[in-house]
Structure 1
Amino acid sequence: MTTFIFDVLKDLQSNNENLSELTFVLPSKRAGLFLKHQLTKVTKQTIFSPHIISIEEFVEDLSELKSISNTELLFEFYTAYIKLTKKSEADTFESFSKWAQILLQDFNEIDRYLIPQKNIFDYLSAIQDLNHWSLENDKTEFVKNYLSFWNKLHNYYTQFTEQLINKKIGYQGLIYREAVNNLESYIQFNTERQHVFLGFNALNTSEETIIQELLKNDLAKIYWDIDAVFINNQKHDAALFTRQHKNNWTFFKDNSFNWITTNYSKEKNISVFGIPKNIGQAKYIGTLLNNLQKDNQSLQNTAVVLGDENLLVPVLNSLPSGIEALNVTMGFPLKSIPIASLFESLFHLHKTPSNTFYFKDVINIISHQLIRPLFNIEGIDFATKIIETIDANNLVYLTAERLKLLANNSEDLIDLLFSNWSQSVREALENCSQLILRIKNYLDDEKDSNLLSLEYLFRFNELFNEVFRLNTEYHHIKDISTLYSVFKELLSSETLDFQGEPLQGLQIMGMLESRVLDFETVIISSVNEGILPSGKTNNSFIPFDVKIENNLPTYKEKDAVYTYHFYRLLQRAKNVYILYNTEADILTGGEKSRFIAQLELEGVHQINHQIIAPHVPVIQTSLNVVKKTNSILAELKEVAHKGFSPSSLTNYIRNPIDFYYQKILKIKEHTNVEETVAANTLGTVVHNTLEDFYKPLVGTLISVEIIKNLKTDIAKTVTRHFTDVYKEGDVTRGKNLIIFEIAKRYVSNFLDLEIKELKAGNQIKIMAIEANNNVVIEIPELDFPVTITGKVDRVDEFNGVIRIIDYKTGSVEQSHVEIIDWESMTTDYSKYSKSFQVLTYVYMMFKSNQIQLPVEAGIISFKNLGKGFLKFSKKDKAGAYAKKDTLITQETLDNFYKELKQLVLEICNSDIPFTEKET
């Protein structure tokens, strides 16, 4: 396969051109590197290398202006803006940057296409004046300011461009305009210099003017790369610009048009694959490359072209291991580097000045992979210490002083991360630089394993140095919020360049990097509408019709640019693989590109179109089963000796595997910070408050007067217990204040219920509060003792009948404490767990001789206080008319004991494994 560059060099050689004396101008620097490489194939003797430059470099030389970054342009533009705007009316730099970006793009287009500036800005101002009721005498301040902005556009442009030219710097459009202005002088002083322009397609007016003037003065040659299939079809957008140049340039009326080729019509293997999701495309690219290697095809002349450059990282992670040489022309986006997340978190934390920091933000920062090692001092992990203290004390917000106390050997690191940021932007930037230095010193100790991290760190050090330089020169960043905006702007545009051999191995590139280059095998991803081509986007202050009137490019021309690049990749290729996303997506679209439909309809090539579905293995879901080994049985005996609680037994009924995790493996749930008071915390507070109230009344007949006196202490006692249980959590505002009031209301309502019962003539005697029980149950089948342990919330005597009462802050209905048949009690957790619990309490108290039968047992639900005491009952059948027996007798306990014994035997049976239940 011969390439376009090789054909151009051969043509020049056949015309006896001295290659060493030529100046080659190409669309990109990368194309120049390939041209230099091709020189060795057309020359058989040693020669001096010709001058090879990109069009941007050539125009920059012509203009005598230096191109600067987009971020620095914003700073320069803001300087011009505040000179022309009253201080009281001027936007902040942060607000300015949002609309100034768009205006800079418009300035760029106006200059590149040599549009008379005053005319178009006056035109835009007049349009806005008409649109906003200029005939009305009394305009609102908003309308006045709006129209004033449009009237000042030309002044902004003039002040801005003069300012740049005086500094010998500029943006692309201004550089092009100045290059055209200097063209005549350049021609006069370079009469012997021959230029060769090759591989161009869409030219702006400045480029057209420069090239045509050089052609007219016999100082240039130009080579186009267009196929006959495209240029002969008047409706084919791949040749839209080339046809215009061929038909409109006067030079081609008397000179030949080089070249129209016939490469596209040659036989090709074109396959189109529809693949769900972007990650699916990345994985399939790896599969394609692996298949090419298996077929013994060299990847030396293979290119992976990413329509969506966000696929770079997934594609790199999907490459087969056998690839030895690889060149990536796109830079690795800085926003994807791990250290970016650290500074994102820091700026997010400090952009709003505050003396306290949200605990999740603090944990996020100190747990970062590059920060956590810095807290490890003399073997003590202070990061863990801080996190554990936050959890243990329920700290939702922390101060820098509190953090210093927790990390007493890391005060300087706490200062870098959390202090001094609000004092000044300069201080914040110095903190960032010092932090980078601290991380570097740590990484230097293990340099061999951290070379990549050091490279990341160096790139971010450069980025902050650039921000520091810009702010030192322009002084536009006044606060951390603005600094954050500038940081994000740089982060989104800056990259870390890959180091590789650009002429060897597999090439991974974006669509624009493929200009002028030819490959035998091409894989193109993300060929979807909205990506290739990008579609109708108009990020501009200039309306569509005004663009058309002034010959400025619209979305149609931009689509035609991508059409050309897409088809040019196919021209000389032999094997083409086109991938698109089949899944509809609101942002990126799901429809396959019109390019694919066009390929299928034009009929030049046979297209192999397939929909690829990822291989999804059938994973048989199996329940977790743990066999009872000797060590587990030994641990079970220990648990049985210490005591099974009613909640642990019901936990086994609910799911045996949870019982195994909690009682055998001793795995506890991690205690997280409660931003909002949890249900169990509310329950604990209510239980503890009632314990305080009723503990002194044990053995006493309570009275209305006693209960009324208790009501006066509700607020004080609830507050104290919230402090004990909720630690340093705040219950003075938001949802927590509501829950705090609910806790007081629960206690108050319960006391009101007591008063109501007493006023109705009922006699209530408190017998026990939070009564601890620890009893051994007789199970002859086991050769070790089994203990049941638990704490009963309340035991009282109600009109001579003993009641065992369990408090529940959640909602409980009467049906939750009723059973029909005893066998279901240990199998159906959802229906009978509460009945099992209260009967366990009765059984324990009876066995420990604390009560005499018969008794009543049940639940008082604070969410269902209106139903009063919900008594356990045994029903003879289902239905509303079933007979209920609420008294717990010896027979009741005998029946319960059988089920309890059966449950404990199952838990301790070595032949019955802990088996997970389906949920």
Structure 2
Amino acid sequence: MTTFILDVLQDLKKKQINFTEVTFVLPSKRAGVFLKNQLPRVLDHTLFAPKIISIEEFVEAIAGLESTSNTELLFEFYNSYLQISKGDEIDSFEVFSKWAQILLQDFNEIDRYLIPQEHIFKYLAAIEDLKHWSLEEPKTEFVKNYLAFWNKLFDYYKHFTQHLIEQGIAYQGLIYREAAKHIKTYIQDHEDNQYIFLGFNALNSAEEIIIQEILQHDLGEIYWDIDKVFFENPLHDAGLFTRQHKKKWNIFNSQPFEWITNNYSKQKEITVLGIPKNIGQAKYIGTILQELHQEDATLENTAVILGDENLLIPVLNSIPDTIENLNITMGFPLKSIPLASFFDALFNIHKTPSKSFYYKDIIKLISHQFIRPLFLVEDIDYASLVIETIDSNNMVYLSVKRLKQLAPPCASVIDLLFTNWQISIDQALSNCSNLILAIKEHLDKNSKSDILSLEYLFRFNALFNDLTQLNNTHEHIKDISTLYSVYNELLNSESLDFQGEPLQGLQVMGMLESRVLDFETVIISSVNEGVLPSGKSNNSFIPYDVKLENKLPTYKEKDAVYTYHFYRLLQRAKRVFILYNTEADALTGGEKSRFITQLELEGIHNIKHQIIAPQVPILEQKLTVVKKNAALNRAIAKLASGGFSPSSLTNYIRNPIDFYYQNILKIRDHNDVEETVAANTLGTVVHNTLEDLYKPLINSFIDIEMIKSLKSKIEERVIHHFKTEYKEGDITKGKNLIISEIAKRYVSNFLDLEIKSLKAGNQIKIIAIEAQNDILINLPELDFPVRLRGIVDRVDAYNGVIRIIDYKTGKVDQNQVEITNWEDITTDYKKYSKSFQILAYAYMMQQKGLVKFPIEAGIISFKNMGAGFLKFSKKEAGSRSKNALITEDTLIAFEKELKHIILEICDSQIDFTEKEV
């Protein structure tokens, strides 16, 4: 296929240009690689390669200045700020960096477009004065400081730029301004040089002056790459800048404007694909490449252009394994690699000085893929030990000393992670560097060392070296929060460059990297409004109308730049796939780009439009069934011999699969740290406290004075049991303090209920507290013993009637302990589980001969204490009458249902089948 670069080289050959003596100036370094590759196609003899440079390199050579990093500029700018801004209103470096970033961008734009600096800064100050404050008299201190800031902008600029020039460094805009100032001198010193400019589109004012001066001195030529369709249409943004250049540059009055080509109108196969979500686009790119690979094994004339560069990793993961040659012309942001998440978590725990650390932050750090191996000592995983101890002891905040007690061999790593960060910034940076070295040492010991991980470590080591150098040179970083801010600034500007053969195989690149390059097949992703083009954004101190007046670029010009790049990719391509996201995402809005609509309205090409929907299989929701086999039957027999508890049987009634997991397989829910006391912990504390208070009263008739004397013991017993159950959890503040008080109130209310009952003349005798029961159940159908076991909270004699009482810290109502049909007690868990439990307790105690009829069984609900003792009742169908006394007939009817449910569990022919929720 023909390419713009090849056409330029062939034209230069016709003009008999000596390539050895020519300097090619291109928009990017990437284009230079392709130009050098194309040279042999037009040469018929051996020669020294021409000099090929980017426009940035060329301008730096003219200006005699070197560009520096944005972070370095921020530190240098702060030096100027400190010298000019005297007094108490000086911002800290962290606060300064927030607004200084925007101001540096404005400095850059003002210089690139050669705007008179003093004029525009004074103009901005006058606008602010007029817009907000001129009518306010007298002006407040805040207003004075605000206006003083705007009045000092030119002073900041002047001091800062002079300081940079003295050091021989500069930001891009200043380099361009200085280059434009010195271009005539440069030309006089390089009269024998010849320059070829190619592939340019939007030029800033400095570039225009530089290139025009060179052309007017007959020291070079410029080749534009614009198609007739765009150039001749005054409304088409793809030709906006080239139309302006042809009109305004005097050189084109006497020299031809090269070139206006006619490639876009040639036949093309353009397919527009609407695909849900970004990940859907990445996956479909893989499908397209698989089909293309079958046609062209090399894919050397195929490019994947990522409108959204965050799609790089998903796209790389979607490329078929059969595609061997691949070149990526874009860096992978350091902020996206796993090590970045570790340092982000590390900085976050140290931004606020503290002697103890939140358990989730600790777990996050020691569980990180790069740190966890450092806690593996002599095959003991100390990270797991620490996490298990935190969980089991409810440790919400831990000190460094406590961590070292939990993992003594890992003390040095714990120190690096958690100690001495507040001593100095140098110490914090040293800790980070030493952590990197510790991780590297571990990787080096591993015979199967992870090369990519080592590359990550190398880049982060370089980043922290830069931070250390900046801190040593400027000493502006005063605290960890500021260090974190500067670290993030560096992190966002750094990338991990991929290595590959730049001229072989499939090309994956961003939109800007595609400048000057041509491909037969182009796949462009994320062609949505807000991405391509990016749309309105005003990250600037300069208002829109001031930019228009001073001919500074606005979002309209930036959109025109991307319009040109988009259409230029289409000019010489034969097959184009344009992908956009159909879903309404937070940032992109789910709206296809205006570029797609414009393509359709032009009517030049036949556009195929498809909406791609992923194939979503219909998954039939099947209930889990566990087939019973010999091994499972043996496990059930073993469980039956050990004894079923009433709660395990109600667990089966609720859902047989839960019974299988919890009671057969013994799978328990993971015990997470209880930051707030859980309901079951509260219940255990209340139960245990009442046990302590009432056990000494067994076989005694209680009286009012006896119960009143128990009240003085409540506080001590509740705190004791919280320490036992809640381990190292803190109940002295927050919600936990409230819950501990609730526990005391529950117990106190229970004692008040007892006193009220005694004052009413009732006699109460304590028979048993936390009575343990274990009985054999006669089941001739089974060839193994079956036991029923359980603990009854309290048994007493109330006016001579035996009561079996179960405590519930949750709310229970009377209707939850009433039953009409006995069959329902083993089928309806929600209504009758509590009735089943208390009847099971009554049945066990009656079978052991510990109680005699008549019996009452029921619940005391601590959240419904006013209802008193909630008795089990048997209601007659169709009648309002109910019987609260448990007789022999009651327990015979219950025994029938109890045996039925146990036989069902033990039946080898009845599988464990999940119940529909």
How would you bin the TM-score normalised by the shorter chain?
A: over 0.9
Q: Secondary structure at the match of 2:796?
A: strand
Q: Aligned-pair distance for 1:670? A: 1.4
CA separation of 1:447 and 1:23: change in aligned 2, threshold 3 A: farther
Q: Residues of 2 paired with 1:653 and 1:699: CA distance?
A: 36
Deviation digits for residues 399-418 of structure 1, max 9, x if unmatched? Answer: 00111111111111111111
Contact 2:293 2:299 survives alignment (8 Å)? yes
Deviation digits for residues 448-484 of structure 1, max 9, x if unmatched? Answer: 4411111111111111111111111111111111111
Return the letter of the residue paired with 2:886.
I
Q: Residues of 2 paired with 1:192 and 1:370: CA distance?
A: 57
Contact 2:298 2:325 survives alignment (8 Å)? no
Deviation digits for residues 487-512 of structure 1, max 9, x if unmatched? Answer: 12222221100010111111111000
Deviation digits for residues 634-693 of structure 1, max 9, x if unmatched? Answer: 111111111111111111111111111122212122111100110101111111111111
Q: Residues of 1 paired with 2:809 and 2:535: CA distance?
A: 59
Q: Residues of 2 paired with 1:804 and 1:868: CA distance?
A: 14
Q: Aligned-pair distance for 1:298? A: 4.0
The alignment status of 1:638 with 2:634, answered yes or no, reads: no
Q: Secondary structure at the match of 1:712?
A: helix
Contact 1:425 1:477 survives alignment (8 Å)? yes
Q: Residues of 1 paired with 2:870 and 2:836: CA distance?
A: 14
Partner of 2:653: 653
Say which of 887, 890, 896 aligns to 1:889.
887
Mapping of residues 352-391 of structure 1, within 5 Å: 352-391=352-391
Q: Aligned-pair distance for 1:297? A: 5.8
Aligned length: 917
Mapping of residues 29-428 of structure 1, within 5 Å: 29-296=29-296, 298-428=298-428
Q: Residues of 2 paired with 1:509 and 1:865: CA distance?
A: 71
Deviation digits for residues 136-190 of structure 1, max 9, x if unmatched? Answer: 3311111111111101100110111111111100000001011111111101011
Deviation digits for residues 715-752 of structure 1, max 9, x if unmatched? Answer: 22111111111111111111111111111111111111
Q: Aligned-pair distance for 1:300? A: 1.1
Partner of 2:598: 598
Q: Residues of 2 paired with 1:835 and 1:45: CA distance?
A: 101
Q: Secondary structure at the match of 1:456?
A: helix
* Sequence identity percentage: 68
**Comparing 91-100 and 584-593, the one that deviates more:** 584-593
Deviation digits for residues 224-255 of structure 1, max 9, x if unmatched? Answer: 00000001100000000010001111111111
Q: Residues of 2 paired with 1:46 and 1:623: CA distance?
A: 77
Q: Aligned-pair distance for 1:588? A: 2.1
Mapping of residues 501-516 of structure 1, within 5 Å: 501-516=501-516
**Comparing 132-141 and 351-360, the one that deviates more:** 132-141
Q: Residues of 2 paired with 1:147 and 1:216: CA distance?
A: 45
Mapping of residues 714-753 of structure 1, within 5 Å: 714-753=714-753
The alignment status of 1:2 with 2:27, answered yes or no, reads: no
Q: Residues of 2 paired with 1:317 and 1:7: CA distance?
A: 36
The alignment status of 1:531 with 2:531, answered yes or no, reads: yes
Mapping of residues 428-577 of structure 1, within 5 Å: 428-577=428-577
Q: Residues of 2 paired with 1:736 and 1:283: CA distance?
A: 49
Q: Residues of 1 paired with 2:24 and 2:651: CA distance?
A: 80
Q: Residues of 2 paired with 1:405 and 1:210: CA distance?
A: 68
Q: Aligned-pair distance for 1:394? A: 0.9
Q: Aligned-pair distance for 1:617? A: 1.3
Q: Residues of 2 paired with 1:812 and 1:487: CA distance?
A: 57
Say which of 902, 905, 908 aligns to 1:907.
905
Contact 2:328 2:498 survives alignment (8 Å)? yes
Say which of 889, 914, 917 aligns to 2:915.
917
Q: Residues of 1 paired with 2:491 and 2:676: CA distance?
A: 35
**Comparing 768-777 and 79-88, the one that deviates more:** 79-88
Contact 1:292 1:298 survives alignment (8 Å)? no
**Comparing 543-552 and 762-771, the one that deviates more:** 762-771
Contact 2:429 2:464 survives alignment (8 Å)? yes
Contact 1:775 1:844 survives alignment (8 Å)? yes
Partner of 1:675: 675
Q: Aligned-pair distance for 1:371? A: 1.1
Normalising to structure 2: TM-score of the pair?
0.99
Contact 1:652 1:659 survives alignment (8 Å)? yes
Partner of 2:705: 705
Q: Secondary structure at the match of 2:327?
A: strand
Normalising to structure 1: TM-score of the pair?
0.99
Return the letter of the residue paired with 2:843.
Y
Q: Aligned-pair distance for 1:332? A: 1.2
Q: Aligned-pair distance for 1:848? A: 1.0
Q: Residues of 1 paired with 2:399 and 2:295: CA distance?
A: 63
Q: Residues of 2 paired with 1:446 and 1:297: CA distance?
A: 38
Mapping of residues 802-821 of structure 1, within 5 Å: 802-821=802-821
Q: Residues of 1 paired with 2:195 and 2:537: CA distance?
A: 36
Contact 1:877 1:883 survives alignment (8 Å)? no
Contact 1:794 1:805 survives alignment (8 Å)? yes
Structure 1 alignment gaps of length 5 or more = none
Q: Aligned-pair distance for 1:590? A: 1.1
Contact 1:807 1:861 survives alignment (8 Å)? yes
Q: Aligned-pair distance for 1:581? A: 0.6
Q: Residues of 2 paired with 1:335 and 1:826: CA distance?
A: 58
Structure 2 alignment gaps of length 5 or more = none
4+ residue stretches of structure 1 with deviation over 4 A? none
The alignment status of 1:768 with 2:782, answered yes or no, reads: no
Q: Residues of 2 paired with 1:636 and 1:380: CA distance?
A: 36
Q: Residues of 2 paired with 1:162 and 1:748: CA distance?
A: 79
Partner of 1:25: 25
Return the letter of the residue paired with 2:419.
S
Return the letter of the residue paired with 1:387.
I
Q: Aligned-pair distance for 1:133? A: 2.3
Q: Aligned-pair distance for 1:294? A: 2.9
Q: Secondary structure at the match of 2:200?
A: coil
Q: Residues of 2 paired with 1:488 and 1:837: CA distance?
A: 60
Q: Residues of 1 paired with 2:129 and 2:915: CA distance?
A: 72
Q: Aligned-pair distance for 1:295? A: 3.5
CA separation of 1:813 and 1:692: change in aligned 2, threshold 3 A: same
CA separation of 1:29 and 1:296: change in aligned 2, threshold 3 A: closer
Return the letter of the residue paired with 2:516.
V
Q: Residues of 2 paired with 1:405 and 1:832: CA distance?
A: 49
Q: Residues of 2 paired with 1:857 and 1:299: CA distance?
A: 81
Q: Aligned-pair distance for 1:88? A: 2.0
Q: Aligned-pair distance for 1:135? A: 3.5
Contact 1:794 1:806 survives alignment (8 Å)? yes
Q: Aligned-pair distance for 1:447? A: 4.8
